[in-house]
Amino acid sequence: MAHRILVVDDDHELRETISEILVDAGFLVANASSGEEALNILAGQTFDLVLLDMIMPGLGGQEILPLLKRQAPRTRIIMITAFATVENAVAAMRKGADDYLTKPFKVDELLTTVRRSLEEARLLDRGLQVEKDSTFSCLANSIRRDILKLIGREQRLRFMDIARHLDIEDHTKMNFHLKMLRSADLVSQDEHKNYVLTSQGARILACLSQIAKDNSPQ
């Protein structure tokens, strides 16, 4: 699915140039000629990335940036500045921009900056997802669900007690599953090495029993 990009610039000609380059590169592009218009458009739909001119009549990039970040925190923002100065760059980044371009820029420069920024976003998203993935893949295994239920019932249990309760002879197998549960932050160990549920683990367990309950009347 093509990425959606919003170009915000009061300079009509530059805006059109940028749009054309991006459209040719296969992106879905929308234009805004002022900060106010940009905010309106962003209220109605989401974009993956916004190219934002720092200096515009009315609301400039500097002013919109924090508003924009609050409204759509996951949208990437690339500032466009007239001059490459350290102050400009620092100011932009500090306000929440993810990258910046200095005018004038070449076609390649624009595209690589945009693509790199989108790629970073993707990696970041995936990073956030890792947590959820590990949660669900933990639940995929019935041994781990049993461990979770057991700890939920008994509150706190030693390693070998879990093994005995669940009739698991090979303790390294247990260890494997416990490690997964720990890394998914569903269980943890207290100061005496007892295994206990984390708050996340308790929530999941509630959810789990809810699903099981729904299921049982066939």
Partner DNA sequence: CCTGTCTGTGAAGAATCCTTCACCACTTGT
Partner DNA sequence: ACAAGTGGTGAAGGATTCTTCACAGACAGG
Catalog residues that contact DNA under the rule CB under 7 A. Answer: 137, 140-141, 143, 158-161, 170-173, 175-180, 189, 193
Task: Pick one of a copy of itself, DNA, none as the site partner of residue 40 (Cβ within 5 to 8 A by kind).
Answer: none
Residues at the interface with a copy of itself (CB under 8 A): 1, 129, 131-133, 135-137, 139-142, 145, 164-167, 200, 203-204, 207, 210-212, 214-215
- The size of the chain, in residues, is 218
User: Which tokens go with 175?
Assistant: 């260890």
Phi, psi (degrees; rounded to nearest 5) at 99: -165, 175
Minimum gap (Å) between residue 192 Cβ and DNA: 8
83 binds, among a copy of itself, DNA, none (CB under 5 to 8 A by kind): none
Q: Please identify, using beta-carbon distances, which residue of 67 and 166 lies nearer to a copy of itself.
A: 166
- 40/210 with CB nearer a copy of itself: 210
Residue 80 and residue 52 in contact, taking contact as beta carbons nearer than 8 Å: yes
129 binds, among a copy of itself, DNA, none (CB under 5 to 8 A by kind): a copy of itself
Q: Which of 86/128 has CB closer to DNA? A: 128
Cβ-contact 114, 6 below 8 angstroms? no
Give the angle 142-145-146 at the CA atoms, nearest 5°.
85
Q: Is the separation of the CB atoms in 217 and 183 below 8 Å?
A: no
Rounded to whole angstroms, the Cα distance separating 156 from 90 reads 50
**Token representation of residue 112:** 């690589």
Closest CB to a copy of itself among 3 and 15? 3
- Compare residues 12 and 158 and give the one whose CB is closer to a copy of itself: 158
Nearest distance, CB of residue 45 and DNA, angstroms: 23
Q: Rg of the chain over CA atoms, in angstroms? A: 26
DSSP 113-136: HHHHHHHHHHHHHHHHHHHHHHHH
CB of 136 to a copy of itself, least distance (A): 5
